[in-house]
Chain A
Amino acid sequence: MRLRFHLCALPLLLVFTAQATAFAQAPRLQSKKLPVATPAISYREQVEPYLKAICSSCHSTDKHNGEFVMDTPAQLFKGGATSHARIIVPGHSSQSLLISYLKGSKQPQMPIGGTPATATQIAQIAAWIDQGAKIDVVRPVFPYVPAVKSKVPAVKNIRWARNPIDNFILSKLETKGLQPAPEAGKVTLMRRVFADLVGEPPTPEEAAAFVKDTSADAYEKLIDRLLADPRYGERWARHWLDLVRYADTHGFENDGARPRAWRYRDYVIRAFNADKPYDRFIKEQIAGDELYPTDADAIVATGYARLSPWDELSTDHPQRWQDYLNDVTDTTGSVMLGLTVGCAKCHSHKYDRVTIKDYYSLQSFFISTRLEESRLPGTDPYAAKTEPWHNQITRLSADLKAIREKYRSAAEEERRKSLRPGEMLRIDDGDMDRAIDRATDARLPGAEQDHRRKDEIQGDIRSIEDKLRPLEPVAEVVKEGGKSAPPAHILLRGNLATPGEEVRPSFIESLCASKDQVEAMVVPPPGDRSTGRRTALANWIANPANPMTARVMVNRLWQHHFGAGIVGTPSDFGRNGDHATHPELLDWLAVKFTEDGWSLKKMHRLMLTSAAYRQSTQVTPLSAKQDPQNHLLSHMNRIRLEGEALRDSILATSGRLNPEMFGPGVYPKVSDEVLSTGSTHKWGNSAEDQGMRRTIYVFQRRSLVLPIVEAFDAADMNNTCPRRAATTIAPQALALFNGDFSRTESKYIAARVLKDAGADVEKQIIRAYELTLIRKPNSSQLALAKAFLQKQSQLHAADGNGVRAVVSIRPAVSEAQTAALAELCHVLINTNEFVYLD
């Protein structure tokens, strides 16, 4: 794309520039004799972006040096304290001070402290002035206009295309003279879709069965099977949690736990597994309490607006509340609308069509939000688990009461001493506890024992309550308190201390088809508990008429399947984001998505069954040269497993993965050296099998990320993360090659190998390859591995660092041989073949 720009656009630019320079030198002449063919220069497209880039740091509402502001054309034409209207004299660039300042013929030359504008750039601005300095109307273009179902393009190679996606991909490839890559091998493809849909590798047996299945729809059946697999929800919920910066703690000083946050995580997993329509998914998260008040899932979903960091110890509550509102507004804009609305917090967006008024109007939908805990309607799925604990508490409370009752008379006696005339004698547990204390101090018979027993019972009750709390049918939600909302104001420069104009709930104007759609129709739902504002917002976002919603979501799916989005910056469809590589395809998909009832699973299926997705990762020299970044998808992108998928895959390979779903976060073992990096790292102790659950169930502490996940570019839990980085750094090698996790699991992989293959070394090697890389070794790999095992066995025998086999097999395998085999498995899970997906 870029390459093409340089190759093709540059000559054009030069031609054009030459003309423009001529204009600049003879402005008077050409203002009359403007050649008909002379291209009109667009202020919006060619002048404004440049001026904003170099001038707005000093000449904007934020910082108006020389009383000159140029945020709007009107301000620009008004000029500053010295230039006034002479700043731009339409039709006469030579008289326009803007040009003089840029040239330096008037001092100080602008931009002060920056690199002077080149002749080319000045010429362009001069030409615009000479053409009359017209302000062109901003024409709505992508992405501000709703998607229409583009015509599926015709292609030459009709045999290749399996569904319309392929026509869009292939037609562009054909224009460039590129060929799609051949289809990937069956096992390669299988590993790819497994990682993509369930985040784990297939078992060797699944792979063998798939290879054997020669039916025409074997691949489609596989896709359907995996889309129905509950691990699909676990895999894809993670992508959503990245976006909404999910965590189980508040962050800041105490980084205190949010014991009920996991209910939102589980809700997302269930929503993906149930193929909840995406519009409904959004509505539930923004306004589930108003729209579906009897649906427990919809109530939990409103936890979406509870996920931002929260400073529990803040002493400045109005600011904290404003930070919260900003965060929920920014996140909603980025995640659901693909627009960086946060930029308009202090000033109207410098690049995109979002004004400061849009921003605070959008924020006003959340202004009457209250953060609450809510008892969930319906039956409690954890009741069976918590009932024994409740019973235990009942029993313990009865015991406690019995102890206290023994001291009732003593407590009454004490209380009488301070009784005022006419006052009723009334004692509480505290009075009785104090009576126990006094009796203990006085060493009365049995008192010390009662005291001790009372403390024990109270301790037991507390620890049961701690276990119980996260499982109570209560969720962290948002609600409102009534049908009226406090007034909302624009905050000048984003500052709470300088409120500006009052705003009403209204939508981002540039995303509305007409002006009369901007103002929100807000209707309080029955019961007068709520303003209905969030319902209005939810209905606007989750709507096929909204130009962003469907496009943004299908692009996210595309990104995860293909390694890069059609728009490469999936939360920024604006001007600073990447341009769409296949805009017509994106629109076709967006319309298809809404036509199919916003079904994610149908969209996955469509993408995954395309020929484009089934391509191998093979690059031809021609495509490497013409399209080095593979924007055109002449082959599949190789994708590295994220930290979570890597950890889950290793656990699946060692056979130790605990498939249990849902519930409060678990704590895999973390070394003391990691725990000591903060002042208050509260890391729980989970049973070993609980620590072996999928990474999505690991407690998400904002100040402490599981090291193996962190090393492989974990999502930051404080910011929305639309796309994981995929850096390659030495600490990753340290984590995976030296870290305790992979070393331990390698021993368990070795145990599986021994169990399956017995004592025969060659069989062991084959099995080790099958379990880790889902294939057999070739002959040279087999030979390498044999030599390796022999050497490692000798070394381990010599130093006595063996590994006791976890399984007993006959004939027995020595500890040194087992250790050597574990080393081999460890090498295999460290290979690029394991970590990257072809």
Chain B
Amino acid sequence: MGQNSNKQFPALPHMRNAASRREFLERAGVGFGSLALQFMLAQEAEADAVRSGTKNLNPLAPKPPMFATKAKSVIFLFMYGGPSQVDTFDPKPELTKYDGKTLKTALANVGEVKTFGGGNNAPLMRSPFKFQKYGKSGIEVSELFPNLATCVDDMCFLRSVYGDSNNHAPALFEMNTGSILQGYPSVGSWITYGLGTVNQDLPAYVVMTDHRGGPIGGAPNWSSGFMPATYQGTVFRPEGTPILDLSPGKTVTAEEQRTSLDLLNKLNQEHALSHPGDTNLEARIAAYELAYRMQAHAPEVVDIKGETEETRGLYGLDNERTEKFGRKCLLARRLVERGVRFVQVYSGGGHGDDTWDAHGNIVGNHGKHAGDTDKPIAGLLKDLKRRGLLENTLVVWGGEFGRMPITQGGAGRDHNPGVQTVWMAGGGVKGGTVIGSSDEVGYKAGEDPYHLRDLHATILHAMGLNHERLTYLYNGRFQRLTGTAGTVIKNAFS
């Protein structure tokens, strides 16, 4: 029992100090045997496995969810720049009524109005877009999304989501990682950590950025933070060789590469034989073979020759305007079809009006971005549904924040972390529903406000992960995606 004779480290009468965190947990948890404990221990077990080689070495090996669930994958459509709720999915007749008036006129206890770019006393601006009821549910959608509107009966609208920062970078980090500070693991990392992946020939967590550039903040948006890099997102390009270094370049033929790999394997195997029992060495041999397979499989994902004309049309690949985002949506389907756990697709890249950041002109900006994405997203939902994939795939749509009901400069809107509409579809989500609301003019979350942490708890829940029990020990704390908060939006599920 490791009794310690040194007086400095007196052994306690009956149970000595735990030899490790794991032992402490095991001891503290005699009878605790819960999933929380299992997950705390899984992390330790992984380290043990790597060191002692007694367990599965692959940290991405598939793991069962904490409870039975429908969703197996997530497609997160990130509308970077911040789409305006009152112009898309949150109709506001009162805003039309108070058009040109101040916020204080419309809302009694509005308090101090804080915009990002100034103009705190600017007048309210009605939405220039018409809303109309759709589907059996009769949910209203603005004219920006004529195609997506036909899917409302599969969609669940969260009209009261709010965050903490009105500044792009912290808001992007918060939507992606739960913290406005840089350096925390992203939602995709948590899910990959919790569930692993079923297809080892492809990355578990894939990110497709916009053709105009990445989002503000760059890679920290899909970082694994303090967790191992294994769980970070892999940037995936929609054509050719989708992953960095996937191909050895034009000067090396397949046969030459295979010849080199064969020699490498021989040398490594011989080396491993003279170093028996070290599974790290064997794992590294396997990783080369895996990489070689990935080299074959990943380009196959982006090779869409096999897709019918009709399917391509569904995603808008036949139209120059929708082709770019449509291709990524189609790839998102192909990726989840192949078992990829988490796919994030960005609409909007770089800065300004290349993103949804409609400071100057909501009609021009949102008209453009909605027009580029409406058909592809509708195509994605319809295609997933007809292939029976929608119930296993949680689709989430949202940006880093919403926008102000007051105008900026007469035609645009400024950032507004106070409320945005996020919608979800598939993965066990109840379609044709609206949850929560913003206030009368869409300035702040109104009834049933949901913080981004609640959204995160809900995404994890859809994937069969309890956000309070999915923990990772770093810096002395069992860290969680939801920090010390988060409530699952249970009524989003059927």
Contact = CB atoms under 8 A, between A and B. Distances in A.
The interface residues of chain B, by DSSP majority, are classed as loop
A806 interface: no
Nearest to B247: A738
Given A252-B170, A252-B217, A2 B20 contact: yes
Of B12, B33, B276, B285, most A-chain CB atoms within 10 Å: B12
Contacts of B97: none
A323 B30 CA distance: 38
Given A16-B14, A115-B34, A311 B170 contact: yes
A638 B280 contact: yes
Interface string B285-303: 1011011101100000000
A118 B30 contact: yes
Contacts of B244: 671, 673-674, 707, 731, 734-735
Interface in B240-278: 243-249, 251-253, 255-256, 259-261, 263-264, 266-268, 270-272, 275-278
A342 to B, nearest CB: 6
A629 B52 contact: yes
A795 B255 contact: yes
A104 interface: no
A314 B52 CA distance: 46
Interface stretch (A231-239, A370-378, A410-418, A713-721): A713-721
B32 A142 contact: no
Given A118-B31, A141-B17, A638-B278, A716 B271 contact: no
A323 B247 CA distance: 43
Contacts of B349: 679
A795 B216 contact: no
Contacts of A831: 264, 267-268, 271
Nearest to B248: A738
B182 A832 contact: no
Contact of A726 (B8, B50, B272): B50
B306 interface: no
30 contacts: A1-B19, A41-B14, A49-B28, A117-B31, A118-B31, A150-B6, A309-B183, A314-B167, A340-B477, A352-B476, A576-B476, A619-B278, A628-B54, A640-B280, A673-B235, A674-B244, A681-B218, A719-B183, A725-B230, A728-B287, A730-B291, A731-B244, A734-B246, A737-B264, A738-B246, A738-B295, A743-B252, A827-B263, A832-B268, A832-B281
B8 A579 contact: no
A680 B215 CA distance: 9
B476 A830 contact: no
Contact of B259 (A119, A703, A795, A835): A795
B476 A340 contact: yes
A792 B256 contact: yes
B272 A702 contact: no
Given A251-B220, A733-B287, A578 B21 contact: yes
A46 interface: yes
A334 B218 contact: no
A116 interface: yes
Contacts of B32: 50, 53-54, 114-115, 117, 121
Interface in B364-417: none
Given A120-B31, A577-B476, A832-B272, A731 B14 contact: no
Given A42-B14, A831-B267, 20 more contacts: A9-B1, A45-B17, A115-B32, A115-B34, A253-B167, A577-B21, A577-B476, A617-B278, A679-B349, A680-B216, A716-B223, A727-B228, A730-B290, A734-B295, A740-B245, A795-B255, A795-B259, A827-B260, A827-B263, A836-B281
Given A1-B2, A4-B2, A679 B280 contact: no
A728 B219 contact: no
A115 B33 contact: yes
A311 B169 contact: yes
A444 B283 CA distance: 76
Using C-beta atoms within 8 Å of the partner chain, give the interface range for chain B: 35 or more
Nearest to A57: B468
Interface of B: 1-2, 4, 6, 8-10, 12-25, 27-34, 36, 48, 50-54, 57, 59-60, 114, 116, 165-170, 181-183, 203, 209, 213-220, 223, 225-226, 228-230, 234-235, 237, 243-249, 251-253, 255-256, 259-261, 263-264, 266-268, 270-272, 275-278, 280-281, 283-285, 287-288, 290-292, 294-295, 349-351, 468, 473-477, 484
Given A115-B34, A577-B476, A832-B271, A49 B24 contact: yes
A676 interface: yes
Nearest to B22: A2
A832 B216 CA distance: 38
Contacts of B169: 252-253, 311, 313
Given A352-B476, A727-B59, A733-B290, A628 B9 contact: no
B22 A330 contact: no
Contacts of B234: 731
Given A57-B468, A730-B290, A743-B249, A583 B31 contact: no
A785 B261 CA distance: 13
Contacts of A735: 244-245
Contact of B31 (A119, A142, A638): A119
Contacts of A732: 287
B350 A141 contact: no
Contacts of B215: 678-679
A346 interface: yes
A784 interface: yes
Of A676, A732, A792, most B-chain CB atoms within 10 Å: A676
B31 A792 contact: no
A648 interface: no
Using C-beta atoms within 8 Å of the partner chain, give the interface range for chain A: 35 or more
B34 A629 contact: no
Contacts of B1: 4-5, 8-9, 12
Interface in A702-758: 702-705, 707, 710-711, 713-714, 716, 718-720, 725-735, 737-740, 743
Nearest to B34: A115
Nearest to A708: B245
A498 interface: no
Interface string A646-685: 0000000000000000000000000101101111110000
Interface in A278-316: 309, 311, 313-316
Given A583-B6, A719-B226, A795 B246 contact: no
Given A629-B52, A836-B281, A309 B182 contact: yes
A476 interface: no
A678 B218 contact: yes
A576 B473 contact: yes
Nearest to A8: B1
Interface stretch (A422-430, A479-487, A567-575): A567-575
Nearest to B223: A716
Nearest to A573: B476
A737 B218 CA distance: 26
B13 to A, nearest CB: 5
Contacts of B216: 253, 678-680
B294 A734 contact: yes
Interface string A315-339: 1100000010000001000100001
A41 to B, nearest CB: 7
Ranked 7 nearest A-B pairs via Cβ? A118-B31, A340-B476, A678-B218, A718-B183, A253-B169, A733-B291, A628-B52
A537 B175 CA distance: 38
Given A638-B275, A679-B213, A702 B468 contact: no
Contacts of A40: 13-14
Nearest to B234: A731
Contacts of A145: 8
Contacts of B167: 253, 311, 313-315
A679 B350 contact: yes
A349 B477 CA distance: 9
Contacts of B268: 831-832
A12 B234 CA distance: 49
A334 B475 contact: yes
Nearest to B16: A9
